[in-house]
Structure 1
Amino acid sequence: MASPLPAEQWWRKPFGMFQTNLREINADMDVEKVLNFIEAHGAQAWLIGTGGILAYYPTDLPFHMRNPLLAKRASGDLIGDAITAAHGRGIRLLCRMDFSKVQPSVAAEHPDWCFRSPTGKLQTHTGDLVSVCPCGPYYQEKVFQILDELTSRYPVDGFFFNWMSFNEIDYNKVYHGVCHCPTCLHEFPLKTGLKELPDGPKSPTYDVWLKFSKAVIDDLTARIRAFIADRAPNAGLILGTTADIMFHEANNALGRELWHHATSEWVSAFRSYRPNVPVLVNSVTFIDMPYRMAGEEPDHFAQYLIQTISRGGNPSTYIMGVPGQIPYPCYDLAGQVTRFHKKWKEEIYTGMDPCAQTGLVRPDRLQQTGEQYSQSQTEFQGLYSGLQQRHILFDVIAQEFIPGMEQNGSLKRYKTIILPDLGKLSESAVSVLDEFVKNGGNLVLTGSSGTDGATFQLKSSPAATRKSVINKRDQIWSSYVCPVMEPGGDPQVYPAPVIPLYGAYYFCEWKADTKSYLKMLDQAPFAPPEKAYGNKQVNEPGYVIGTYGKGAVAYVPWTIGRAYHDLGLTVIRDMLCDVIRDLDATDAISASLPEQVEITVNRSGEKLIIHVVNMSGARKTNFGPPIPIRGGTITIAGGSGKLTTKSLINNIHCHVESKGDSVVISLPEIDMFDVIVVGGL
């Protein structure tokens, strides 16, 4: 076997990856031919199916079934052949492991390894494969024997663990419930103090089980990471948020509403937390598991990769089988983006870190009930869309990462943090956010954020107590906020804009020395037309701003993000932007571009890296070809006419014009995307 590539933690630098998700019939693949394709695609790493359900190498472990078609290879060892050939070309090879299922003979011999539904049934799949439980001895013990065998034989460059979770839902999207295997039945009461396991999401203790299951996976992840670090210190581990490489799979799915910004959101949440830890986005070339041979729309797939690199992630293309067997239409655009990333990985993407000054917090499922999470997620997506469309630069901050970001110092670079209808916050988050404001930061709270019943947790909140809430449609329909009406004027003549209240409104007692903006138009009949009048302005605000220490907090006491998500009125979006403006929290960088364009800003050394992503091809279920964008500009307040600018896609310098104390950069035509490099700041 060829000697391994230079010993180093290679994943610390940007890279592109290609995954061949192997079927058992691919055991006799021509590895040189596959590597020709991977090199032409622009990838520098190859993720290959290796073991778990089937071993693609001659394993000696009795519970780890060899792929019988390995007999077709002269060597009898696909992984050995692949790693020798890959390293000979300077390409890293990573092993894809799937320990979620075992062969029926193994399950029969070791029933205690297996998932059990609340009724005691096994979970079986194609060919009678049987799901196993992360709590059981297979994951807790036997996985380490397989990893020991692999690291002893091969100089692998990394590991990816697929579907390492509690399999409540199977491949056919059938829900089986919470695992009731012998180990779970023993461990859950021991760890939680509860006598019985829940059956599923409708059980009152399901949220406790979610935390229990996460703790099991986190502990297992830590042990696997320590094992690999000891046995193969230069092999990167892709597993969970604490591993060497953080991971997101970009995919579409049958029956799931498409969130067009999902990839950008996930990469941003990881990068804002730990910008020094790489993020890999494995992008799926097919539309969903039931249709693995139906290729995704090329422009939709390109969005996965473009959004990935725009936030500083590493792009990966994931196919079934071997290149050339299934005619995925994504290859051309995927290769274009991957090769672009490779071309600029040293000059642009190495050391590129997020630098937005506004952070939008993404809700944490483990801190809310299912219904609360659904509502706050809708609030988050509405706020995300509003900020993106108005080109207010922001990062996504995962709610669960807030204390860690304070500890590692990454929270300090934000001027403003937005909390979307999050409800009760953890004590550590409350302390961190109050200190953030005290030291000069701004908070924007919407809906229920930072409340525990009628109590406001944040000392910095402008609200003293909550009096009541309206959150039923018959309570809030036909209610609005608008500018303060002149006393003595016609009560039926309303000043613009009239903004509909939607979702929930929280009536509060306000602290002294706060300033309120807009006022509520109280509910009145809306039908029939003859009776649709009588909305009276009452002394309840659209939003309130108060100061705390050196900073300020704006509280929008209603679900403005959910309103924009569901109603789509620009007056709602523009009110959100007014809140940020009134905090004096706007960024020095602004853009004159259609709302279908997303811009992200990062810094690489002395250079500002502006990604301009054309999302005009957005459809209900995917993306089609974008409409070219012409005449766009980016303005940098306080910039100098001595700025240097370059469009990397067009390989031209952009026109720069001074206007007052700002500079305006004229953009070339934007097709799928462009990257504008600005120097001289």
Structure 2
Amino acid sequence: MPHKNINRRNFLQQGAIITGGVALTPLVGYASPKPITAQSTLADEPMWYQRPLRMLQTVLREPDAVNYNAQAVVDYMLKTDCNTLVVNAGGIVDFFQNPLPAANINQFMGKNDILRDITNACHKAGIKVIGRVDFRGVEEKIFRQFPDWFSYDDTGKPIQLGYTRPQLYASCYTSYHRNEHAEQFIKYIVGEYDIDGIWHNSIGVGGICHCSRCKASYKAKTGADLPVYATASDEDLKQYMVWKSEVADQHMRRMKETVKAFGKEKAYSAEVFSMFESGGKVDSGIDLYNAREHFDYLVSVAFLTENSEHIHYEDLNYANTIVRFLKSMAPEKEAVILYGGNGTAHRYVMDPPQDLKIWLWEGLSAGGRFWNCSFTGQYPGATHDRRNAYNHQDTYSFIKKYEHLLAHHVPVANVGIYYSRPTRLFYRNKPPEGDSFDDAIKGIERVLAENHIPYHFIPDDQISTDRLKKYKAIIMPDVKCLSENEVALLQNFVAGGGKLLATYETSLYSEDGLPKKDFGLADVFGCHFTGEKVNTRKDCYQYINDPSHPIVSPDSARTELLINAGFTLLCEANPSAKKICTYTPLVHNQPPEKAWTNEWAKELPTVLEHDYQKGKVIYFANQPDQVTHAMGHPDMSNLLLRSLQYLAGETIPISTNAPESVHLGLTQSARAEGEYIVTLVNTTSGQGRPIRRLVPVNAVKILLDADGKTLKKFEVMRSQGACKVELKDDKVEVTLERLEDYFSLFVKMG
């Protein structure tokens, strides 16, 4: 096989055509979450909203209408390579000359029409315009005119939103305000202003509304009266949430049909919050499971921080995580993260700039797009704090330049994390362990990201025999709630040769969150739950029962014990299962003279391996994933990593010598067969958040497995320093002299 050294200049000037026969076939067959075919919703000629979106949202305040300069907004957008503007249309305050009932025209606008001015200016520049509408509530003067349009509590008192000032009078999914009025409103602005789409802001409705429409609808559906939250049973609230999700679904469908009546090129979307939020017993009834079919592109709020009094920064890889999740839900749609404005809590000052840049590169590396949300001023360059005004420019300009290569990309992986909506809903009631739904998933993600292992999410409502077969290994991080159908599919997956890694209470509850006496997957795990769980958070250990096993052998020559933490289920292993590690009861640490035990217990497994027909399982009776996220002890993370490597074998297609602080990405085109993008995101920095300065990483190598397909073309899209590519031993070896922030390489296989 010929070897070629190619410098960065050659890459950038002409790419390269290699005829020597190198290939990446391990990539070619990798699982795309939902392969896009000629019959899918991605047309031969995609709509504008199915192409890479580079969005700016200006959430105008009322005084921003004074001397509004539409051309200055457009000039800024052109300078920063934005291609879509989201701008206030109205609902709470109207930024157009609204002739409809319940109009609340901006008091500072006079006879001007902001919506018309900015739409005309954007369209002349080739920029799409999405009108932001908000029907969550109205000011008191509007409520007094139309009191029967809005929401009421169980005492007959109108519901007001406590988090707004003034406190808006709220409306619900069945109300006239959110339906007939909203329809009329949307029809007017889409028809009159020729805007390109609607952004349905604050679409979710919290709490229980007792308006006459809700009472009638609920009675017709269930035969019961609406529950009163303070006295309702859990069953009553579950029944209410089933109905509420249905009416929320109907509302989204109605709004989308209103927009689409003007043509399929008109876009409709709304915000959905974190994939990890479990909410309370009563929430909005909207998440991506029911929203994805209604939205033309998927948007998730992904601020660096949250809107709360006590601020913390999200994990730097969360932007990547949410894009992976959105792509797993609907790979044919653009996955957009809505960022900026300091999580809205301190919206008048900048986001930490270095974190924000990493945030954008992280999202892009999974195939994501961006929605820069500016909360103050006419645009980011004309506000009190202008330090973030151009922070997105590098990323947006990169997307614009390489749009033809980046379009319609989805993450590549043959390892999947099982995502269970019923398990997320289980956490509406805080479990006795005190953990959260996201803890176990984030622990697994940490292990995968730090070790540069590509992965997908597998949404529980999309599993099938064919979907599961695409993965060499499936990870079930404390997936408590499984239906009988899911259990059967997973049993068949392992029986047919699949590999499974599961932790803690996986399959110990029904899909409705009801506890079982034993695991639904007990036969697959090779063990049975005794009915007892113990708190092993402190002074607890695991005895290495099988020191020769590959997942403990790197340590067993030097230790008999590993840490245990979190909670542990006491389980009895089948004779056919291998007990790798076993549960040891608490060893008190005080006084130290008494901190000993006669014998380390060896009966009850904490980690076991079981061969189930043609397949293999590693089951953890404790919480290594949750513990990895919470405290990061290497015993737990090493057990997870080695278990995954043991199960997946040599099938992981890509590797790098980069440190854990460099995140590796791999995506493939859903339209053009054989096209891939490899990325590196550097997060190496000093201690603590926010990040002050990135530390460059030198001499980074990436290896791509090659086996049979020719490498037709490649191009370095972004690199710092020299880049060398060698083709040898069925490997594509990429060597970077220096990585500062982001590296991106396009390859096309024959």
- TM-score scaled to structure 1, two decimals? 0.87
The residue number in structure 2 matching 1:4 is none
1:268 correspondence with 2:329: no
The answer as to whether partners of 1:354 and 1:601 remain within 8 angstroms in 2 is yes
The residue number in structure 2 matching 1:606 is 674
The answer as to whether partners of 1:591 and 1:635 remain within 8 angstroms in 2 is yes
1:247 correspondence with 2:299: yes
After TM superposition, list the pairs within 5 Å mapping 1:420-435 onto structure 2. Answer: 420-435=477-492
* C-alpha distance in structure 2 between counterparts of 1:549 and 1:160, whole Å: 51
Change (3 A) 1:276 1:330: same
The answer as to whether partners of 1:382 and 1:562 remain within 8 angstroms in 2 is yes
Report the Cα offset of residue 547 of structure 1: 3.6
Change (3 A) 1:151 1:300: same
* C-alpha distance in structure 2 between counterparts of 1:457 and 1:273, whole Å: 25
The residue number in structure 2 matching 1:406 is 464
- In the alignment, residue 123 of structure 1 is paired with which amino acid? Q
1:281 correspondence with 2:337: yes
- In the alignment, residue 326 of structure 2 is paired with which amino acid? F
1:199 correspondence with 2:254: no
2:414 to 357, 362, 377: 357
- In the alignment, residue 380 of structure 1 is paired with which amino acid? I
1:22 correspondence with 2:60: yes
Report the Cα offset of residue 374 of structure 1: 4.4
Q: What 5-or-longer segments of structure 1 have no aligned partner?
A: 1-6, 169-177, 487-492
The answer as to whether partners of 1:211 and 1:366 remain within 8 angstroms in 2 is no
The residue number in structure 2 matching 1:490 is none
Report the Cα offset of residue 621 of structure 1: 5.0
Report the Cα offset of residue 246 of structure 1: 0.7
* C-alpha distance in structure 1 between counterparts of 2:55 and 2:534, whole Å: 47
Q: What 5-or-longer segments of structure 2 have no aligned partner?
A: 1-44, 271-290, 510-515, 549-555
The CA deviation string for residues 139-160 of structure 1, in whole angstroms up to 9 with x for no partner, is 1322111112122212221111
Report the Cα offset of residue 413 of structure 1: 2.9
1:386 correspondence with 2:475: no
Report the Cα offset of residue 335 of structure 1: 0.9
The residue number in structure 2 matching 1:499 is 562
The answer as to whether partners of 2:56 and 2:373 remain within 8 angstroms in 1 is yes
Report the Cα offset of residue 298 of structure 1: 1.0
The CA deviation string for residues 25-49 of structure 1, in whole angstroms up to 9 with x for no partner, is 2234211110010111111111111
Report the Cα offset of residue 237 of structure 1: 1.1
After TM superposition, list the pairs within 5 Å mapping 1:181-580 onto structure 2. Answer: 181-188=211-218, 191=221, 195=225, 197=227, 199=229, 204=234, 206=237, 208-239=239-270, 240-242=291-293, 243-251=295-303, 252-253=305-306, 254=308, 255=310, 257-260=312-315, 261-284=317-340, 286-320=341-375, 321-323=377-379, 324-347=382-405, 349-364=406-421, 365-372=424-431, 374-397=435-458, 401-406=459-464, 411-452=468-509, 453-458=516-521, 461-473=524-536, 477-484=539-546, 495-496=558-559, 498-511=561-574, 513-534=576-597, 536-548=600-612, 550-580=614-644
The answer as to whether partners of 1:437 and 1:460 remain within 8 angstroms in 2 is no
The residue number in structure 2 matching 1:152 is 191
* C-alpha distance in structure 2 between counterparts of 1:576 and 1:462, whole Å: 16
The answer as to whether partners of 1:464 and 1:510 remain within 8 angstroms in 2 is yes
Change (3 A) 1:435 1:237: farther
2:139 to 82, 85, 103: 103
Q: Which moved more, 1:117-126 or 1:240-249?
A: 117-126
The answer as to whether partners of 1:645 and 1:678 remain within 8 angstroms in 2 is yes
- In the alignment, residue 336 of structure 2 is paired with which amino acid? L
The residue number in structure 1 matching 2:718 is 649
Comparing both chains, which one has the higher relative contact order based on Cα–Cα distances under 8 Å and sequence gaps of 6 or more?
A: 2
The residue number in structure 1 matching 2:16 is none
Change (3 A) 1:564 1:338: same
1:582 to 646, 649, 668: 646
The answer as to whether partners of 1:596 and 1:616 remain within 8 angstroms in 2 is yes
Q: Which moved more, 1:158-167 or 1:618-627?
A: 618-627
RMSD: 3.1
SS in 1 for 2:95: coil
The CA deviation string for residues 434-491 of structure 1, in whole angstroms up to 9 with x for no partner, is 34334443221111111232222237622353113324358x74232435369xxxxx
The answer as to whether partners of 2:173 and 2:247 remain within 8 angstroms in 1 is yes
Change (3 A) 1:360 1:63: same
* C-alpha distance in structure 2 between counterparts of 1:384 and 1:129, whole Å: 40
- In the alignment, residue 80 of structure 1 is paired with which amino acid? R
What's the % identity of the aligned pairs?
A: 21
Report the Cα offset of residue 597 of structure 1: 1.6
The answer as to whether partners of 1:478 and 1:500 remain within 8 angstroms in 2 is yes
Report the Cα offset of residue 575 of structure 1: 0.6
Q: Which moved more, 1:567-576 or 1:622-631?
A: 622-631
* C-alpha distance in structure 2 between counterparts of 1:180 and 1:14, whole Å: 43
Report the Cα offset of residue 333 of structure 1: 2.7
Change (3 A) 1:307 1:425: same
* C-alpha distance in structure 2 between counterparts of 1:625 and 1:396, whole Å: 32
- TM-score scaled to structure 2, two decimals? 0.80
The answer as to whether partners of 2:655 and 2:702 remain within 8 angstroms in 1 is yes
1:13 to 48, 51, 55: 51
SS in 1 for 2:699: coil
- In the alignment, residue 573 of structure 1 is paired with which amino acid? S
Report the Cα offset of residue 362 of structure 1: 3.8
* C-alpha distance in structure 2 between counterparts of 1:662 and 1:160, whole Å: 46
SS in 2 for 1:83: helix
SS in 1 for 2:360: helix
Change (3 A) 1:542 1:281: same
* C-alpha distance in structure 1 between counterparts of 2:523 and 2:192, whole Å: 58
The answer as to whether partners of 1:434 and 1:459 remain within 8 angstroms in 2 is no
Q: Give the aligned length.
A: 650
The residue number in structure 2 matching 1:174 is none
The answer as to whether partners of 1:296 and 1:328 remain within 8 angstroms in 2 is no
1:591 to 635, 650, 656: 656
- In the alignment, residue 19 of structure 1 is paired with which amino acid? Q
1:122 correspondence with 2:182: no
Change (3 A) 1:288 1:354: closer
SS in 2 for 1:468: strand
- In the alignment, residue 441 of structure 1 is paired with which amino acid? G
Report the Cα offset of residue 498 of structure 1: 3.3
SS in 2 for 1:648: strand
- In the alignment, residue 227 of structure 1 is paired with which amino acid? T
- In the alignment, residue 661 of structure 2 is paired with which amino acid? Q
The answer as to whether partners of 2:546 and 2:579 remain within 8 angstroms in 1 is no
